Each structure stands twice: as C-alpha cells, then as structure tokens.
Structure 1
Amino acid sequence: MMPFVQQGFTLAWRSLVPLKNSPGQLLGYALQPVLMIIVFVYLFGGAAAGGDRHQAVFYSLPGVLAQSALMATVATGVSLNTDLHNGVFDRFRSLPIARSAPLLGRVVADLSLLCVSVGIALLAGVAVGFRIGTGPVRLAVALGLILAIAVAVSWGSALLGLVSKTPAAMQMTATAVIMPLTLGSSAFLPVGAMPGWLQAWMKVNPASHLAGAVRGLLVGRPYDAHLGSDVLYTLGWAALMLAVFVPLAGRAYRRRI
C-alpha cells in the first residue's frame, strides 16, 4: 500500500474515534434514512405507487439510499472547513506525512459513516416490508454505485469546504446544491407525475439515474426497464465529477494550507 494511502486511512480512523463521545452525531446518521422512509412511505401515503404503501416501500427505499449517499457528503466539507479553522491542518503540516493524506482521510472517514447509514436504511426497509428481489451480485453492484457517487460528490463537498469562509456558509451552499438534486429527481416520485418543465430536469438529474439504477438492481421488474442506461449514466456522472472535483479540491487544498 502506498504510504499516503496508509496515512490517509490512519487519519480516517483518527476522525472516527471521537464519535464514541458524540452519540448524537451517530444517531443523526442512523435516523436520517429512517425518517425519510417514514415520510415518503407513510406520511405521503405511497403516492409513488398509487396509494399502495407496500409497493411504495419498493419504490422509495432505493431513493432513500440515493439521498443518503448525497446528503452524507455534506459532512465532508463541513468537517474539513472546521478542521481548517481549528488549526488541525497546521498541526498535520508538522508531521512526516503526505500533504494529501489529511484530505484523503476526511473523505474515507465520511464514506465509512455513509456505509452505516445505508446499512441502517436497508434494515429499516426490511422492517417495513422491503425485500431484495434479485440476488447478492446485484446488491453488491447497487452498493458499489452508491459508493461511487458518494466518493465523487464527496470531493465536490471537499472543494466547497476548502473555499468557504465558515462551516455554516459551506453547509448552506452544499444544501442549496443537494436539495434540488434529491427532491427534484425520480428518487421518490415517478417522472410522469411531475409537470413538463420539471420532467426535463429529472431526466438528466444524476440522482434520478442513481435511484433508478439502485431500484432496478434491488427490486428487478418492473423497475429494470432502463437499468443498463441508468447504470451507465451513473458511472458517467461519477467519472465526470471525479475528473473535475479531485484536481480542483487538490489545488484548493494546497493553496489553503
């Protein structure tokens, strides 16, 4: 393993250890997907499946997984910005480690928490009637797609965290970007139920393709009609965001420290 990668994982562990003294933060990661399932399956009455709440679970849970992946990335930028203001990165500069290791460690730590959130969402879905209708291979591919998008968006969040003046400003900016992606997608409601102008946005929205791919991979018929194109679009969006955000975040990181 390359030294900077090993150092990055060590710093990721350093970021996770303090969570044992912050149960509220862990509780937030656990409750967010559960609350989304309650809202979109029970409070909205299963509008995604014509009022059938049982079928709404099969439609909405993949959307919850997609939203959890995107929302969790906000923590990357907030944590980076907080560490910069607290002088943590100034202390890292005095250590014999790669300059990129703290940035990598922050992304890896938040992806670990995302895995916890996704796992709890799946368990909550099973508790309310969701069943995986395919197999372990498709489940692994679905989780891989979620992590791929999360990694890509995390680098965008890191960029915002490095250029924002305060953690609050970063969080507000990231929320303004994430909310149209998640709520303006087919994650919770089908495209056909929306007005024409919104349908155009939903069809190109990366969150729609991610939710559609996860839905097809986990549920199967009748949601796998566009599975191939959704998977390709999701991978394409992830590759594009990585190609843009990784060098920009690296440049902003070098300038900031």
Structure 2
Amino acid sequence: MTFTQPAVRRGPSAALSQGLVLAWRSLIPLRNSPGQLVGLLVQPVFMIVVFVYLFGGATGDRADVVAYMVPGVLVQVSLIATIGTGMNLATDIGNGVFDRFRTLPIARSAPLTGRILADLAALLITIVTSLVVGYAVGFRVTTGPLGVLGAIGLVLLMALALSWGSAWLGLVAKTVSSMQGMATAVLLPLTFGSSAFVPATGMPGWLVWWMGVNPVSHLASALRGLLGGGLRVADVWITHGWTAALMALFVPLAVRAYARRVR
C-alpha cells in the first residue's frame, strides 16, 4: 500500500484559511497559561498609571492630561507588543516547530500569517483593556462607537505592519534576546521620540522635525481625533501610507527569510 501526500491548496484564500487555523493553534495555550493572559491585562494598567499619574500629574489640568496621554499609551502598548511576534517566531524556530510545519501541505506563508494573526488577537485584548482603564482614570470617548472602531482598526493596521517587521527580525536574528534588542532599539525612538506623550511645542528644532515625520506622532494624533474629536484627516492618510509602505517592505522580506530558515 502506498501513501500520497495531500495536495497543497494554493491561492490567497487558502493561505489565509490555513493561517487562521494556525493562529487558533497559537491562541489555545492561553487557556493553560494564565500568567501570559494576566500580562496582557496588566501592561496597559501599569503604563497608564505611570504616564497619567506620575509623568502627567504635574503638567497641567488633569482632564487635559488624561485626554492627551491615554491615546498615546494605547499607541505605545500596541506597538511594543509587536516585539512578541518576532520573539515567538524565533522561539518556535529554535524549538523545531517550523520544521514540522514544513512537512504539512500548507502555503509557505501560512505559519507566518498564523503567528501574526494570533498576536493581533492577543493585542486586541490589550487595546480593550487600555480603553477600560482609560475610562477608569477619566478618559471619555466623545465620538461614539464608530470613532472607537476606527481607532482600534487604525492601531491594529499599524501593529500588523510592524508585526511583519518584527517577524523578519525574529527570522534573521541568531537568538531571541538579540531579536528583542534590535526591535527595542527601533521602537523606543519611534514611541518616545514622538508626540504620543508630549506635544512638539518648545522642543529643539531637530526634535520638532523628527516628531513631525515620525509615523507614531501621526498615529497618536489620529487616535486622539477619532476618540475625542477634532480629527485631522491627514493624520489618518499618513498612517495608512506608512502602513502600506511597511507592509510592502517587510512582508516579502519576512517570507523570504522564513523560506531560508526552514528549507
């Protein structure tokens, strides 16, 4: 008796469906790992307490501080969370998980897509927690449900693009710690060198320029507009432009790096 390997389903729809199955596989361990789930919930609490109460406590009116800081914290926790994508990929490769995927009749991009979709689903928990904690400290959404959905969608799009960059770093890095170091070195200047937490007014000229071109500044400004009113449409379009550019750059790089690592 002879056995034949099932034919590989091809096409974008097949790759997406296979990625969704692998994403679910990556999320199942959360049920047996309460510590990881608690981490998703505690991080936004800690960040909001630090930035709203410690850093923002002496900078002006409490309501203004909360209205400015909470969207910035939402941006930061979302983007920093993308580091986990590369770390998880580096760990899975080191443990031989992707060697098993290589023997399956699935699209080559499916394991990458699955890992990223799983991390985005976990990130959604962090985003919702951030909004709930923000409400507890006095942040109020004035634009209605559509504004909230638009803000969540926008930050998830940017996180998706950066997750592909994180995936690429995780695939080319020699170790998990080196991947984490490289990703942190990129994201910290983007988040702290933006107007996510402080306006550019009064900053040195070179820093004003950097904050003006920094995509995180436009993302934070767009979230403030979507959640609190006064939206500048240009911020949304600039964020979409950066998202498209990052996806165009990192998706092929990540797929190519993955192909080299598992062949």
TM-score for the superposition, normalised by structure 1: 0.94
What does 1:152-191 align with in structure 2 at a 5 Å threshold?
152-191=161-200
What does 1:51-200 align with in structure 2 at a 5 Å threshold?
51-200=60-209
Q: 2:209, 2:135 → 1: CA distance?
A: 33
Q: 2:221, 2:81 → 1: CA distance?
A: 19
Counterpart selection for 2:26 from 15, 30, 48:
15
Q: 2:56, 2:241 → 1: CA distance?
A: 34
What does 1:217-236 align with in structure 2 at a 5 Å threshold?
217-221=226-230, 224=231, 227-236=232-241
**In the alignment, residue 94 of structure 2 is paired with which amino acid?**
H
Q: 2:150, 2:28 → 1: CA distance?
A: 29
**In the alignment, residue 183 of structure 1 is paired with which amino acid?**
F
Deviation of 1:25 after TM superposition, in Å, equals 1.6
Per the alignment, do residues 64 and 45 of structure 1 end up closer, same or farther by CA in structure 2, a change over 3 Å counting?
Answer: closer
Deviation of 1:21 after TM superposition, in Å, equals 2.1
Deviation of 1:195 after TM superposition, in Å, equals 2.4
Q: 1:26, 1:210 → 2: CA distance?
A: 26
Structure 2: segments with no counterpart, 5+ residues: 1-11
Q: 2:236, 2:167 → 1: CA distance?
A: 25
Partner of 1:40: 51
Partner of 2:5: none
Q: 1:7, 1:229 → 2: CA distance?
A: 36
Per the alignment, do residues 46 and 228 of structure 1 end up closer, same or farther by CA in structure 2, a change over 3 Å counting?
Answer: farther
What whole-Å deviation, never above 9, does each CA across 1:91-120 have from its counterpart, x for those lacking one? Answer: 111222222111110000000011000000
Q: Is the 8 A contact 1:42 1:53 kept in 2?
A: no
Counterpart selection for 2:40 from 29, 46, 51:
29
Q: 2:250, 2:189 → 1: CA distance?
A: 19
Aligned residues: 251
Per the alignment, do residues 42 and 193 of structure 1 end up closer, same or farther by CA in structure 2, a change over 3 Å counting?
Answer: farther
Q: 1:31, 1:188 → 2: CA distance?
A: 20
Q: 2:139, 2:256 → 1: CA distance?
A: 44
Deviation of 1:194 after TM superposition, in Å, equals 2.5
What whole-Å deviation, never above 9, does each CA across 1:3-35 have from its counterpart, x for those lacking one? Answer: 221111111111111122222222222111111
Deviation of 1:248 after TM superposition, in Å, equals 0.8
**In the alignment, residue 32 of structure 1 is paired with which amino acid?**
Q
- 1:6 and 2:17 matched: yes
Deviation of 1:196 after TM superposition, in Å, equals 2.2
Counterpart selection for 1:203 from 195, 203, 212:
212
Q: 2:56, 2:96 → 1: CA distance?
A: 48
Structure 1: segments with no counterpart, 5+ residues: none
Backbone CA RMSD of aligned residues: 1.3
Q: Which protein shows a greater Rg? A: 2
Partner of 1:243: 248
- Indicate the SS of the match to 2:201: helix
- 1:254 and 2:254 matched: no
Deviation of 1:193 after TM superposition, in Å, equals 4.0
Q: 1:44, 1:92 → 2: CA distance?
A: 46
Q: For structure 1, which segment, 212-221 or 24-33, has the greater mean C-alpha deviation from structure 2 after superposition?
A: 24-33
Q: 1:211, 1:45 → 2: CA distance?
A: 16
What whole-Å deviation, never above 9, does each CA across 1:178-233 have from its counterpart, x for those lacking one? Answer: 11111111111111143222111111111100000000110114xx3xx1111111
Q: Is the 8 A contact 1:15 1:109 kept in 2?
A: yes
